A and B are shown apart, each in its own frame.
Chain A
Amino acid sequence: MKQQAPPISHVQDIPRVRTKKKNRKIIQNWQLYLFILPTVLYFIIFKYIPMYGIQIAFKDYVPSLGFAGSEWVGFDHFIRFFNSYYFWDLIKNTLGISVYELAVGFPLPIILALLLNEVKDSAYKRTVQTVTYAPHFISVVVIAGMIIAFLSPTTGIINSFIQLLGFEPIPFMSDPKWFKTVYVFSGVWQSTGWGTIIYLSALSGVDPQQHEAAIIDGATRLQRILYINIPTIIPTMTILLIMNLGNIMAMGFEKILLLQNPLNKSASNVIATFVYEAGLLDAQYSFAAAIGLFNAVINAILLITVNHIAKKTSETSLW
């Protein structure tokens, strides 16, 4: 028994020493907690309290009663939303715009990056980069203004060209058929250049010796792109694809809101703009919060599913 005593006391000592060390660290660095305090308060007030407030999706929110005091109504708002006549239109528009955007907008930066990567650093290459990055910094309001001005059936330059070619002017902004295309291709114009940066940085990691060896073996440029460069950027592509798919129900809603008008609404009415309208214009807070929550849940499920599939098939995943 006596022989066992020392080890026990020794074992007990470790946590005590650790606690002491930890306390010393906390006391010594107390000012660091002041450093982080404003940000912690910010996250509590503007992120965690709204998270707590999401309960109004299951309640009838009355401003005077607050988040907690309002009465529970269960899934009433969700049921009302699912049974509404616009439910399937919203889903169809939301998914339609996102899938279209992904199909066109995802491959283009990859292609542009692969092409840019073939050109040696030169004034020409830098010009292409400087110019194609620039639209990224134009505000969404100006972008919307440009779209509306350029596509006007009477005064827009695009329709001037269309008429020059002998066709009838196209009412892009008032014909619902055109809405998705206008949205997607204006996005391509604005973000393709900027989207190349992340791929160019991945491509700069390719070992030059691999290319040298391939050249000696007689591989053409195209072959080297296909068998060296593209495999190098596949992990980056996978990560971005997962993130895009996880965001498929939450697209650039600020631009849609600006481009939306009564005539194209049958195509431009998406979940996010509907939440804005129902919640902030019509003050149906609980109903709008419920729709927002539904959208967020679908997004989360998509993200988890896609990440899971990616993990299983390619060994690249977000977590």
Chain B
Amino acid sequence: MDLNKINETKADKVFMGFVYVALTFALLIVLYPLIYIISASISDPAAVNSGEMWLWPKDITFEGYRIILQNDAIWRGYMMTIFYTVFGTFINLIFTLPTAYALSRKDFYGRRFFTLMFVLTMFIDGGLIPTYLVVRNLGLIDTVWAMVLPNAVALWNIIITRVFFQSTIPRGLEEAATIDGASNFKLFVKIIIPLSAPIIAVMALFYGVGHWNSYFNALIYLADRSLYPLQLVLREILVLQEMSSNSVSMTGGMAEFIHSQQQLAAIIKYGVMIVSTLPIIVVYPFLQKYFVKGVMIGSIKE
């Protein structure tokens, strides 16, 4: 597009100047809170709360991180979240990959029926209360299964995976395998899965991030604190305690207790934001690439 350069008028130059200013503005607006959190997590809370620290760390201290690392609730939540993420993602893949493969096969009689059965639930849905009652009637409340089974599979991911199989697995391969007498199961395990590393990675990331970040299922299905995932622990630290500082004051010892709780929350709140998001930050380069691809496939297909 060298034509762009040759024919660039004055109006175009002004316009491009505006484009760069606008993009830089967007960049700074998004970046600033992220930098602030990092700086605040290693600054003296007094400097943070007074507004003295507004960009770079001030009076650097790692006290917040020390408290976080010693906090049992956070550790336990971290462990539970790792467990839910690994186990939940494993279940998701066990459900998603074979289903998407079956639906990708043109000679699979009933694929239209099953697709319709799945897609219909996008438009009609039992809603929160009936779903909750089903989960409760199954006896899943306060078990780890409540964190895994109600989200065992997501339709959108089945669709993306099916598109992958349809566009990358050569048709001849399946026919050749069938002629050789290989069963569908053998074909899937020995040939399809080894060819599908990219989509398995994408799906593991999609589902994994979902498990890591979710809090609502835990909120409604878990009462036992020992099962709490990290996000519910965070909710107590970041949302509920801060709330108590906004509401009306209490008297006597209770007020003191709340005050010390607030001090604690003030010291650790930015640190826990970092600590809880760390795994996502580590995989973000992969996430960005694969998620963008996922959004693209979705937009082409539907």
Contact = CB atoms under 8 A, between A and B. Distances in A.
B98 A140 contact: no
Main secondary structure of the interface of B (DSSP, over half): helix
A220 B19 contact: no
A289 B129 contact: yes
B29 A144 contact: no
Nearest to B152: A42
B158 interface: yes
Contact of A56 (B22, B50, B130): B130
Interface residues of B, number: 102
A131 B102 contact: no
Interface stretch (B61-69, B195-203, B287-295): B287-295
Contacts of A236: 299
Nearest to A220: B11
Contacts of B34: 131, 134-135
A155 B284 CA distance: 31
Contacts of B124: 51, 296
A147 to B, nearest CB: 9
A53 interface: yes
A311 B3 CA distance: 38
A31 B99 contact: no
A79 interface: no
Interface residues of A, number: 105
B102 A35 contact: yes
B130 A137 contact: no
Interface in B241-258: 242-243, 245-247
A212 interface: yes
Nearest to B215: A141
A47 B95 contact: no
Given A35-B101, A144-B238, A220-B12, A279 B128 contact: yes
Nearest to B150: A46
A145 B234 contact: yes
A128 B24 CA distance: 8
B75 interface: no
Q: Which 9 residue pairs across A and B have the least CB separation, nearest first?
A: A50-B126, A160-B51, A145-B238, A53-B130, A139-B213, A35-B98, A155-B49, A50-B130, A292-B127
